[in-house]
Amino acid sequence: MPRSSALSRVGVYVVLLLYCGSSVSAFLWMVSLSLKSDQEFISTDPLALPTAPSLASYGSAWVTAGVGEFFLNTVLVTVFAVGISVAVSALAAYVLARVEFPLRGLFLFGFTAGLMVPGFLILVPLYFLMRDLHLLGTLPGLVMVYVAITIPFDVFVLVPFFRLLPEELEEAAFAEGAGPIRIFTAVMLPLAVPGLTSVVLLNILTTWNEFFFAFVLLSDKSVFTIPMGLQGLAVNAAYSAKWVELFAGVILSMIPVLVMFAVAQDRITRGMTTGGLKG
């Protein structure tokens, strides 16, 4: 290996290591702060370890600050939004990839074009549409918005998987008397599991952390999702000095995402790479 290439690779590894170290150290620092009391947080050095670690701030954040309610709202929104989006996207991607019909390319372009529309451009008409449908400030309305904004990406990822599936399996199922729905659900859908897995996991990550549309469309605290709830805790901490409670809430909101990503990151990478190579 040339010396310059080896040095470049070492440089890349050093940068990645520094980035990883900064992220991990920030997370551990937040955990350390969440184990302090409010008095200790104010009176001691922010970098000092807690003298008497306590989980009291987690209970306070979950019950008193409402993180438990925010957590439940986020779970409901994520489950319904991801489920509907993936179901609709899988059907659309299968048709676009396997069925010949007029204007198929135009429909595919329409889905792809949805990826290029910034959220702030649709915000005003979306707000009035939700108001006219009496869905403004509700979780079902937020679910509909998340479904609409994730479908273009889902279709974009899933079309390559369905496009390269063996036609022989489809023809054999048809010869056995299976209809289009049966062929899709029993033959084609299982073969597209890598792509579906990647789409589901990425949608969960996106929906769980989405703040922009939730901030505009939700106003009642009882329907706040985790990002909105944490923003409220941050504002409250600025006046009440309950910073420890805020840090505990942030840690609680991060745990499901961190666990899921740690377990499924290989599947996400493998699914996205396979789809890209097939497409």
The per-residue pLDDT for 273 is: 59
What's the predicted TM-score (pTM) here? Answer: 0.86
Q: What is the mean pLDDT of each run of 10 residues along the chain (279 residues)?
A: 70 87 89 89 84 89 91 95 94 88 86 85 91 93 94 91 83 80 85 87 91 92 93 88 89 88 71 52
At 102, is the secondary structure helix, strand, or coil?
Answer: coil
Q: Are 240 and 256 in contact (CB under 8 A)?
A: no
The per-residue pLDDT for 189 is: 86
Q: Which residues, at least 6 apart from 273, have a Cβ–Cβ distance to it below 8 Å?
A: none
pLDDT tens-digit readout, 24-64:
898 899 999 899 988 888 888 888 888 888 898 999 899 98
Task: Name the average pLDDT for the chain.
Answer: 86
The per-residue pLDDT for 134 is: 93
Closest CA to 247 of 42, 52, 56, 58: 58
Q: Vertex 258, ends 61 and 142: CA angle to 5°?
A: 70
The per-residue pLDDT for 276 is: 46
Q: Are 87 and 155 in contact (CB under 8 A)?
A: no
